[in-house]
Amino acid sequence: MICIDLDGTLLCDDHHTVSAENLAAIVQAAQAGVLVVPATGRIYGRIPEDVHRAAGIQYAIVANGAEVLTVPGGTRLHTAYLPLKDALPVVDWAQKQGYTPEVYQRDRMLIQMDDLKRLASTGIEDDHLRYLQQHEKPVDDLQAYLREKPDEICKVNLPYFASDEQRAALRAELERTGKFSVASSMDHNLEINSPAASKGNAIAVLCRQLGIDIAQVMAIGDGDNDREMLGAVGLPVAMGNAAQDIKALACHVTDTNERAGVAKAILAALKGEL
């Protein structure tokens, strides 16, 4: 099995295109009997169509491991949801501090309407802002909505921090509670999951269900939310565009996402070169 992160890894910098080289390598892996599994912080519905069309995709790990799903169809094989009693105080605090929280709930990206409007003045990059404006589900009162529909909360995402110091301080505070798994998939965000949710845990669960030795799994990633995934598998591969501390977790560093680094890693593995 090969587990592949999306943003900064399989996808180009536009966050939706998969290069022809990467698609061809996935097809070649499938023909060789290897399962290829997207492993992303995104919800299932925001996996790009190019990925869905790739031959051999039967499973997906989404929302940083909060769900393991079949593809197509989205049948849940494993979940690690965030309880409302833990999620709601985070949302309440974040709104009071002006951090415009999003809640990923099953296959929805929820945000309070006034927070969505406020995002435009935060300094968030234009491409990400347009993406959120297109795909968020705005609600009048996010906390009231969650109290009415409290189940299947995958994660709370704080999409933009102007200060890395503030982000790091909040991350440390949340982690000290023991109630959360905290990671970042972008330069300025913070993603808050159940402590049972990580890409690494999700891969281990899928391996057990399919009878695959996790030592025979390759994982390819570039970001902070890929740490557990790279640490869990037998063959961890970092992207050329990954930060140095992520590269240090890998036994191989491939090319960048804009230079088909995923394809190069897959083809090298299939040839027995890794």
User: Which residues are known to be catalytic?
Assistant: 5
Q: Residue 164: CB partners within 8 Å, gap ≥ 6? A: none
Q: Which of 198, 169, 203 is nearest to 183 (CA)?
A: 198
Q: How many CB atoms lie within 10 A of CB 169?
A: 12
Rounded to an integer, what distance in angstroms lies between the CA atom of residue 91 and that of residue 208? 34
Please give the single-letter amino acid code of residue 1.
M
Please name which of 79, 78, 136, 65 lies closest in space to residue 103, comparing C-alpha atoms.
136
69 with 44: CB under 8 angstroms?
A: yes
Burial 117-147 (b: 16+ CB within 10 A, else e): ebbeebebeeebbebbeeebeebeebbebbe
As a dihedral over the C-alpha atoms of residue 120, residue 124, residue 128, residue 133, rounded to 10 degrees, the angle is -20
Find all residues with CB under 8 Å of 149, minimum gap 6, and list them: 105
Cβ atoms of residues 210 and 50 within 8 Å: no
